[in-house]
Amino acid sequence: MSLLTVGDPRRTHGATALRPEPTRHVEPRPDLRIVTVPRRRLRVGLLSSILIVTFFVGIFALAAMHSLVVQAQFELDRIDEQVATRRNQIDARRVEVAELESPAAIVEAADDLGMVSPTDVVYLRPNER
């Protein structure tokens, strides 16, 4: 809003005589005007790059996660199989123990050891005091 003024070139100070200045043709300058500062422009390229990188990083992360899940699933399957195997082994041992504890097996083992059934049973009578 401020205006600049131009002084009268003919006005001088003191007695010093001055040679008149040659007349110059001055081009009129355009009026000053108020301009608005343009907003800073987004750097589209950078943003795009970030987005693309983010996208691919995300995809990679998903793939990595999926890989971990698959790996965990395989681990789970392996453990399940181990559990099933151990359970089968426990059942097999149960059968084995039951077979070994059966009277027929015990009699057979006793026979193998040369044991025989007693012909008479002797009872011990405690002393009467």
Partner 1 sequence: MTRARAFRGAAATTRADGPPRRRLVGLLVVLSLMFVGIIGRLVDLQVVSADRFVEYGASQRIRTEVLPGGRGSLLDRNGAELVMSVPSQTVVADPRMIEDAQAAAATLAPIVGVDEVALAERLGRDSAFEYIARQIDDAAAADVRAARITGVFLQAEPSRSYPSGETAAGVIGRADVDGVGVSGLERQFDDILTGTPGEVLYERSLNGVAIPVGQHQLEPAQPGEDVQLTLDRSLQYVVEEALADRVRETGGQGGTAIVMVPGTGEVLAMAGVETNAETGEVELAGYNSGLVDTFAPGSVIKMVTIGGSLEEGLTEPTTPVVVPYALQVADHTYQDSELHGTETWDVTRVLVDSSNVGAIQIGQGLGRERVWTYLDSFGFGRSTGLDFPGEAAPALSPWQDWYETDLASTVIGTTLSVNAMQVLAAYNVVANDGVYVSPRLVDARIGADGERRAPQVPEPHRVLSEATSDELATMLTGVVTDGTGTRASIPGYDVAGKTGTAWKAQANGGFDNARGTHDYMATFVGFAPVEDPRVSVIVVIDQPRNVHSGGSAAAPAFARITEQALRLLDVPPTGSDGLLVAEGGARVRAATTTGRGADTAAPSGAADG
Please give the residue ranges that form the binding site for partner 1 (CB under 8 A): 66, 69-70, 72-74, 77, 87-88, 91-92, 94-95, 98-99, 101-104, 107, 120-125
Q: Smallest gap, in angstroms, from Cβ of residue 56 to partner 1?
A: 22
Task: Give the contacts of 21 (CB within 8 A, at least 6 positions apart).
Answer: 9
Q: Smallest gap, in angstroms, from Cβ of residue 128 to partner 1?
A: 10
Q: Smallest gap, in angstroms, from Cβ of residue 121 to partner 1?
A: 7
CA-CA distance, 68 to 74, in Å (whole number)?
A: 10
Of 50 and 64, which CB lies nearer to partner 1 in the complex structure? 64
Of 51 and 98, which CB lies nearer to partner 1 in the complex structure? 98
Q: Are 21 and 9 in contact (CB under 8 A)?
A: yes
Q: State the virtual CA torsion across 81, 82, 84, 89 in degrees, nearest 10.
A: 140
